[in-house]
Amino acid sequence: MSDFGILAFGAYVPITRLQRGAIHATNKWFASGLGGLAKGEKAVANWDEDSVTMAVEAARDVLDGIDRTRVERVVIASTTLPFADRQNAGIVKEALNLPDAVGAMDVTGSQRAATSALLAALGGTETTLLAAAEIATPKPASEREMTSGDAAAALLVGRGTPIATLVARHSVTVDFVDHFREAGAAHDYDWEARWVRDEGFARILVPAVATLLGKAGVTGDAIDRFIVPVAVKGVPEMLAKQAGIAPDAIADTLAPVLGHSGAAHPLVMLSAALETAKPGERILLASFGQGCDLMLFEVTAAIGSVKPRLGVSGWLARRVESTNYAKYLFHRGLLQLDRGMRAEHDSKTALTALWRNRKAVLGLVGGRCTKTGTVQFPKSEISVGGNDHAVGTQEDYPLAEVPATVLTWTADALTYSPDPPSYYGNIDFVGGGRMMAEFVDFAGSALDAGAQLRMMFRIKAFDENRGFRRYFWKAAPAF
């Protein structure tokens, strides 16, 4: 048995589940044909989330209880990366407070980005943290708006005790353009679904699956789980039938409860499958986009030895229903509201200061006085009052994974927030350290002095004048 493979898995799904019926209720006067898709719900990222923040949360999910210094390379895969020229994986690395001596790479440009990155990691020698995240902004009243959802997944791939090893792989590359999005464009352009099904999925995936099975020396009935991250109904069933894979091996596409999370979806589905996988199971993972990537995994006896913090099922259980389609549109920049003068505040970031303070800002690293043990945020040359005023005694003290409680709070309707009122207050970290934090993902009534918190990596502000986004940590209800 190889000692190289998938070592651990995790995921992230935003808390808000927009009801598809609410989308249709607004748009049916215009697009009545979407009624058939107006069932269930889709996960939508908050205004302060993007592919980077979601990748960070998925990575934290996979790294729960794992020594982070094992990570030698950070890869993030997405077609919706926030920066075209600033390494997005580098931001993830800083947020995870990993050592500087790690490699990093962004993989993008196709719905196969995540599986191609996974194949690269599996074919390499380094222990790679691979996170895939997607936040889609389909055109309002489109079919894609109904079927898509925002999510992320992450895998730790490398040497150790794998929970799943790669048995066979097969890739096909052809410039089959079923949909596309020009660089910098907001929305995808989609071609007819039936053509995509018949000429794409059927003609490209069917023979590719057969080839993979041949490479592995197995027949379809040897497959225990068949992961086909395709939003079009009937396609997984058609592929399974052609390949001789049992219908009950077809993995849940999560369409009714999450939606299709684009390039991230193969990994989201794989992560979900690994939650319940048994030793010896064979998992066939497919992805589609200008060809396809196919991988056959065998689950090892080590499955169950590692668990994500929440995993897909845990994140799906953490949900707040929303029927506020207008709020969703506003958060995606599809509805212009009068934001008032307070939204005009210039959020220019001094890149010099960001570099100097990157550990505190991106990694939420505070200081601990080596003389008194007192923890503070941020770190400072002279320790805070009550801490001996010791000079130059502070060592790095990461706070992102430390639980906290609410000391004071308010719900501020005056300050500008894309999601008013703005909740914020002073929080105390368990074991010391205090800061003023914004609260996220709170249903108002749950917030009170003493409430327990968990920190989350989010967008703090947008510098709209210069196209920069500022990240920092916010406090969410403990989970």
Partner 1 sequence: MAKGIRDKVAILGMGCAKFGERWDKDEDQLMVEAYQEALADAGIEPSQIDAAWLGAAFDAQNIGPSGIPLAMALRLPDIGVTKVENYCASGTESFRGAVYAVASGACDIALAMGAEKLKDTGYGGLPVRTRGTTHDMVGITGSAPGNFAQLASAYRGVHGVGKDDLKRAMAHVSVKSHANGAKNPKAHLQKAVTMEQVLNAPMIAEPLGLFDCCGVSDGAACAIVTTPEIARSLGKTDIVTVKALQLATSNGWEMQGSGWNGSYFHTTRVAATKAYDEAGITDPRSQLSLIEVHDCFSVTELVTMEDLHISKEGQGWRDILDGFFDADGELPCQIDGGLKCFGHPIGASGLRMIYENYLQILGRAGERQRQDSPVFALSHNLGGMPNQNVSSIAIIGRADA
- Residues near partner 1 (CB under 8 A) are 341-342, 344-347, 349-350, 353-354, 356-357, 360-361, 374, 376-378, 380, 384-387, 407-416, 421-422, 424-426, 428, 432, 434-438, 448-450, 460-461, 470, 472
Query: Considering beta carbons, is residue 315 or 439 the nearer one to partner 1?
Result: 439
If 0-12 CB within 10 Å is exposed, 13-18 middle and 19+ buried, where does residue 244 land? middle
Contact call for residues 114 and 139 (beta carbons, < 8 A): no
- Closest CB 428 distance from partner 1, rounded Å: 7
- The minimum distance between CB 94 and partner 1, in angstroms, equals 13
Whether the CB-CB separation of 285 and 170 falls below 8 Å is answered with no
Task: Report, in Å, the least distance between residue 451 CB and partner 1.
Answer: 11
Q: Which is nearer to partner 1, 187 or 358 (CB)?
A: 358
CA proximity to 212, closest of 187, 181, 244:
244
Query: Shortest gap between Cβ of 52 and partner 1 (angstroms)?
Result: 16
State the minimum distance, in angstroms, from the CB of residue 462 to partner 1.
12
Residue indicated by tokens 């998938």: 6
Count of all residues that appear for the chain in the document? 479
In this complex, which beta carbon is closest to partner 1, that of residue 141 or of residue 354?
354
Identify which of residues 46 and 387 has a Cβ nearer to partner 1 in the complex.
387
Burial class of 333 by CB neighbour count within 10 A (0 to 12, 13 to 18, 19+): exposed
Crossing angle of helices 88-95 and 51-63, in 10° steps, is: 40
Tell me how crowded residue 421 is: count the other CB atoms within 10 A of its CB.
13
Q: Which is nearer to partner 1, 262 or 425 (CB)?
A: 425
Quote the distance between the C-alpha of residue 275 and its chain's center.
17
Nearer to partner 1, 176 or 439 (CB): 439
If the CB atoms of residues 220 and 477 are measured against partner 1, the closer one turns out to be 477
* Closest approach of partner 1 to the CB of residue 376, in Å: 4
Query: Residue 203 or residue 345: which is nearer to partner 1 going by CB?
Result: 345
SS (H, E, C) 162-182: CCEEEEEEEEEECCCCCEECC
Report the nearest approach of partner 1 to the CB of residue 344 (Å). Answer: 8
CB 364 within 8 A of CB 389: no
- 311/296 Cα distance (integer angstroms): 21
CB atoms within 10 A of CB 245: 25
Q: CB under 8 Å to 124, separation ≥6 — which residues?
A: 73
Q: Least Å distance between CB 92 and partner 1? A: 18
Q: How does 62-88 read in b/e, with b if 16+ C-beta sit within 10 Å?
A: bbbebebebbbbbbbbbbbbbbeeeeb
What is the maximum alpha-carbon separation in the chain?
73
Between 241 and 359, whose beta carbon lies closer to partner 1? Answer: 359
Rg over CA atoms, the chain: 23
In terms of CB distance, is 183 or 413 closer to partner 1?
413
Instruction: Output the six-digit token pair for 459.
Output: 């967008």
* Least Cβ distance, residue 351 to partner 1 (angstroms): 10
> Min. distance of Cβ 22 from partner 1 in angstroms?
26
Residue whose CB is less far from partner 1, 203 or 356: 356
Number of H helices, E strands in the chain: 13, 23
In angstroms, give the least distance from the CB of 59 to partner 1.
22
